[in-house]
Chain A
Amino acid sequence: MKSLNRRQFMKGSIASAAAFTAFPQSKAHGANEKVIMGVMGLGGRGTYLAETFAMRPDVEIAYLSDTNTRRFARAREAVEEAQGKRTKLVQDFRKILDDPNVDCLVNATPDHWHGLGSIMACQAGKDVYVEKPMSHNIWEGRKMVEAARKYKRVVQVGMQSRSAAYSKKAKQYIESGKMGDIYLVRVFNMMQHAMQRETPNQPVPDGFDYDMWCGPAPKLPYNPSRRWLNQWEYSCGPIPGDAIHQLDIARYLLNDMPYPKSVSHAGGVNALRDGRETPDTQFATFDYGRLTLLLETALWTPYMKKTPSNIRDSDGFPNWPFSSTKVEILGTKGFMHFSRHGGGWQAFDSECELVRSEFGRQGDKEHQDNFIDCIHTRKKPNADVEMGHQSALLCHMANISYRVGNKQLEFDPQTESFTNSDQANKYLKRKYREPWVVPEKV
C-alpha cells in the first residue's frame, strides 16, 4: 500500500482506521541503540521531561514540538545543553510521527491532547510516554489501550510513584497481612489555587497555532486569563489532574483493585467562584464492595502542604496532619500513612505504636529508566496504559457524578458505562472537532 503523506492524511482520513497505518513504522530497536525521542508539549512538565531524558546517554531528543513557538527556547536550551547536540523544533507534532527514525513520543500536552496524540503515535509505530491524566474521558482511555495493544506499543503513563522503591516496599508490607484486612482507603489532594481574573478575549498571538492547540476540543475564543485547567473542554479539572497520582498509588498499593461498583460525589465550586467550570471541592466515594475509597480534595486549603522539597529526596517524613497529598490505608490491625513525592510511609499497629517506617525517594528517574528499558525489551511498563486508564477512570467517574448533580452512579465494568443514568453516559465520550477525531476502530 502506498503511504499517504502528512497533508493527505490531514485532509481526509484522521478518522479512518486505515489511515493510521499510513505512518512509517519505526525501525526495529537494538538493545544498545540510542532511543530517539520527540517531545510534544513544552510547558513546565514537558520541558522537564525533555531535559531529563536528554541527560541520559541512551536517549537522543530529536524533536521538540509545541503549538506555541514562544515555548521553544527554554526547552531547546535545556535539551541542547544536556545532550550536546541540536534538536529540531516543530509546531506540528505530526512531523515527529512522520520520521521513521523516531522511536517514541513524550506527550506532555494539556489533557485534551493526551488521547489522540498518543493514539496517533501508536498508529505511527512510536512508543509513548504520556502525562497523566492520560485521557480526557473514559471512552478515549479505552481507545488508548486498544491502540497500544493493536500496534504493540509500549505506553507508559507519567504516574511515577509506581516506580519508586518505597512504594514497592509499602505494597509488600500491606501484602504481608500485618495491617489485617483493608476496608478503607483515604486519598487526599488539598491544594491552594488562586482565583482567576478574567479579562476580555484577545487576538491569538503571532507564533501560536491556536487551532492546533485546541485540536479535538472546540475552538473557544482565545482568552489566556481563563486557565485551561479550569475548563472541561480542555481538562479533567485541576483536582483530578493532580489527585490521580494518589489515586493511582492507592490502587497500586492494593494490588490494582479492579473497577468500583459505584461512585458518589459531593462538592462543587465553593470557594473560588471566579467563573471556573471545574469544582474546587471534590469529595468522592468509590464503592469496591468490601473496600471503600474516599477521595478528599479542595483547592482552598493553604495550611495543607505538599511534601516539602527538603524531604522529597532525603530521610524525613511530612507533617502528616497537614500533608496535602497523603494516602491513608486503614486495616483491621494497622494503619499506614503514605506520602507521594518521596515522602515515605509509616505504619502503626492497633495500639497506635509505630511499627514500620520507610523513607522515600521520588521515582522520576526510575520511571524513565523503566520506560527506556521496556522500549528495548517490549515488556509492559510499570504504569502501563491499562493502569493509566483504570486510574484516570476514577477521576472521570467523580467528575461525571458531579456534573449530573452529585448523583450516585452505578458502573458496569464490561461496558465501561453507567447503568443508572443516561445523562451520565453522555459524558463518557467527548464530541471531537474535525479533523481531530479519535476513531471507533483505532
Chain B
Amino acid sequence: MLQRVLLSVAIVAVCCNCAFSKWLEISNIKIKQEPTELGGPKTIIEYDIEDPNISPESPAYVFIRYSKDKSNWRLITKDCLRGNGFDIVEKPGHKQVVWWGTEQTTFNELNKVDIRLRGIQMIRVPAGKFIFKSLPGGGRDESKEITPSSDLPLFYMAKFETTIIMYADYLNEIGGEGAGWNQRMANIDRCGIIRKSDNTYSVEPSRENYPITYISWYDATNFLQWCGLRLPTETEFEKALRGGLFLDGDEAKKDSNLMPERRYPWGDEAPDAGGVFRCNYDGSEDGFEYTAPVGSYDIFSSPYGFCDLAGNVAEWTLDWYSTSFHTGLDGFRMVRGGSWMAVPVACDAITGATQLPLKESSIMGFRAAK
C-alpha cells in the first residue's frame, strides 16, 4: 500500500510578481499522492492563483511540467489531468488538479519529483465574424496565397508579448547546449539575455519585462510547444486587434463592435495624433528608442484588451507566405503588427511582412495562442 505523502515540492519557476515578469503569480503549492482503487496512485496538486483580473474573458492559462531527475522536464498533457486548475482557468482562487496517468504512477518517491506550474494571462476571443483585410485606405502590397477566413471559432491569445524573463526561464529549464539562444540576445539595448559559463541564463537588470527578440520562428514555436500552446494565425491576430463584429461573439450578439474596421487597436487615430503616443514605433519620441516593456501602452489596447498588437515587436504568426520561387524550400512566414523600427502606418491592422523562419531579428517577437 502506498504511503500517503504530503510535501511541498521545490517549485522553482513560479513567479512572484506578475507585473514584473508576465508569468502569473501562483502560490501555496502543495503536492501529495493518494492511492486509487484502480491501481497506482494519483497525484494531487493544489495551489492558489489570486490575480483579480482573471475572469472568463481574461483567463489564465496554467501548464504544469515535471522532472524526475531535475534535468529532463516534461509537460503534463491535459488528458492526464482533472480538476479546475489547469489549461484555461477562468476564476482566481484555490485550485486543485488531479494528475492520474501512466507517467506519475511510476513515481516511487514523490519527493524526488520536481513540479513546476506557470500561468500566462490570456484573453478570450469569442467565435464569430470579423472584417479581414478590408480596411479602406489599407490594403496589402502582396497578395497572399491562403484563403482568408472571416469567421473564426473561439480562441485564446496572450494579453502580452512573450517577455525576456519568460524566455530565460524556458532556456534555463531546457538547458543543454544553447538551443534557443543566440549571441545577439545579449544585446542589452534590444534584448538582454546572458548565457553564463555554467550554461545557465540570466537577464540583464531591468530588462525582464521587455519582449523577447532575436528569436527565430522555430525558437518561438519550440517555446510555445513547451507551454502546450501555439502561435496565432494571421486571421486570429487581426481579429484580436480589430475585434469581431460583436465583441461578445456571434452567439450572444449583445456587444456590438462600433469600429469593426478600425485601423489600429485603439481606433482610427494615427499613433501620434494630438501629440499622444499610442504605441512604440520608429524613433524615440514615443519614449522608447528600442523596445518598450510589454503593456507600456495598455490604455491603447485592442477592444478585447490585448496590449502591443501595434508596434513594439512585430510578431511571428503560424501562417506562411508561399510563392513559386520558394517551392520546395522552407518558405517565408508571416509577421504582423509593426515594430519599434516601423513607420506608424506599418503598425496598422493589416500590414504584414514576410520573414524566413530562421531569421533572428531585433524587431520581431511573438505571443501565445490556444
Residues of chain A whose beta carbon lies under 8 Å from any beta carbon of chain B = 44, 68-74, 76-78, 81, 191-194, 196-197, 202-208, 222, 224-227, 238, 242, 299, 302, 305-309, 324
Contacts and interface: CB of A to CB of B under 8 A. Distances in A.
Contacts of B136: 202-203
A224 B355 contact: no
Nearest to A225: B143
Contact of B141 (A81, A194, A197, A224): A224
A242 B327 CA distance: 13
Contacts of A68: 141
A62 B38 CA distance: 73
A202 B314 CA distance: 25
B198 interface: no
A72 B342 contact: yes
B346 A69 contact: yes
A44, A196, A306, A309: which has the most chain B beta carbons within 10 Å? Answer: A44
A19 B11 CA distance: 74
Contact of A227 (B143, B314, B325, B355): B143
A194 B320 CA distance: 14
Contacts of A307: 328
Interface in B323-358: 323-325, 327-330, 332, 338-339, 341-343, 345-346, 351, 353-355
B142 A306 contact: no
Interface of B: 136-143, 145, 184, 282, 314, 322-325, 327-330, 332, 338-339, 341-343, 345-346, 351, 353-355, 361-363
Classify the interface of chain A: helix, strand, loop or mixed: loop
Given A194-B322, A238-B324, A309-B329, A73 B343 contact: yes
A78 B324 contact: no
B167 to A, nearest CB: 19
A205 B142 contact: no
B324, B327, B346: which has the most chain A beta carbons within 10 Å? Answer: B324
A194 B145 contact: yes
A250 B329 CA distance: 24
Nearest to B339: A73
A39 to B, nearest CB: 16
A208 B346 CA distance: 10
A302 B327 CA distance: 9
Given A73-B363, A202-B136, 15 more contacts: A68-B141, A69-B343, A69-B346, A74-B353, A74-B355, A191-B327, A192-B327, A205-B345, A224-B143, A225-B143, A306-B328, A306-B329, A308-B328, A308-B329, A309-B330
Contacts of A202: 136, 138-139
A205 B137 contact: yes
Given A44-B354, A192-B324, A70 B143 contact: no
Nearest to B324: A191
A305 B314 CA distance: 32
Contacts of A299: 324
7 A-B pairs with least C-beta separation: A191-B324, A207-B345, A194-B145, A73-B342, A202-B139, A70-B346, A305-B328
A299 B342 CA distance: 35
Contacts of B314: 73
B327 A306 contact: yes
